[in-house]
Amino acid sequence: MIPDAHVSHGMASRLRIKIPSKKGDVSYFSTLGERLSTCPGVGEIRVNPQTGSALISYECDRKALVEFVRENDLFLLRRFTPRRKSLFGNVADTFQAYNKDLKKFAAGEVDIPSLIFLSLVISGIWQIARGNLAMPAWYTAFYYALGVFTRAQVDDWDEGEDLVVDLNAGDGD
């Protein structure tokens, strides 16, 4: 399967290509560097498997470089358009990062939704034990506990459809 890639930075004779699906794949990036070095007009190639990127210095026409990549099935160039996230998206990202850290610390036994669920159930039981049946606190706690429990996973945000990049746009050729 040919991996998707996008241009993260481009200049007249340099491109930085990101290939997220191959991040960490030393074998892929080693092969990519070797195969790109056979492209006429391509100079220095620096690959970084840890970041999933390749920096390509070239002296040929961009169209020739794109055609070489396409003919050799190295990767498929796609348009990358980062989207601004809403406040909820940013909070969800922070929540997921903390949750990942907690899971790693607790060897996967505990996560943040479980802790919140347990805390709210205990709060509701505490309100009932105190005789606070007339006040909405205990059933509100149960309601929120159920909400946290049922929505523990935040859905992935749709980043939109990728499109093929026109590497000649704005090149002045």
Domain check: are 13 and 72 in the same one?
A: yes
Alpha-carbon gap, residue 5 to 159, rounded angstroms: 15
Same domain, 126 and 69: no
The CATH number of residue 59's host domain is 3.30.70.100
Q: What is the dihedral of CA 15, 19, 24, 29, to 10 degrees?
A: -60
- Point out the least confidently predicted range of 80-84, 101-105, 165-169: 165-169
Note down the domain range covering 132. Answer: 87-150
Find the range with the poorest average confidence among 80-94, 107-121, 151-165: 151-165
Give the Cα separation of 90 and 96 in Å (integer): 10
- Say what the pLDDT of residue 129 is: 86
Q: List pLDDT tens digits, range 140-169.
A: 777 777 777 667 654 433 344 433 334 444
For 10-21, what is each residue's pLDDT tens digit? 888 888 999 999
Mention every residue, 6+ apart, whose C-beta is less than 8 A from residue 76: 2, 3, 4, 5, 70, 164
What local confidence, expressed as pLDDT, does residue 172 receive? 45
Tell me which long-range contacts 109-117 makes (C-beta under 8 A, separation of at least 24): 111/152, 113/148, 113/149, 113/152, 114/152, 116/145, 116/148, 117/145, 117/148, 117/149
Give yes or no: residues 68 and 46 share one domain.
yes
Number of domains in the chain: 2
Encoded amino acid at 149, one letter: F
19 and 59, same domain (yes or no): yes
6-20, 95-109, 111-125, 155-169: which range is least confident on average?
155-169
What is the structure's pLDDT at 163? 36
> For residue 66, is it within any domain?
yes
The sheet carrying 14-18 orders its strands as: 42-48, 53-58, 14-18, 4-11, 76-78
- Please write the tens of the pLDDT for every residue from 29-80: 999 999 999 999 998 999 999 999 999 999 988 888 888 988 999 998 887 6
For residue 173, pLDDT beyond 70: no
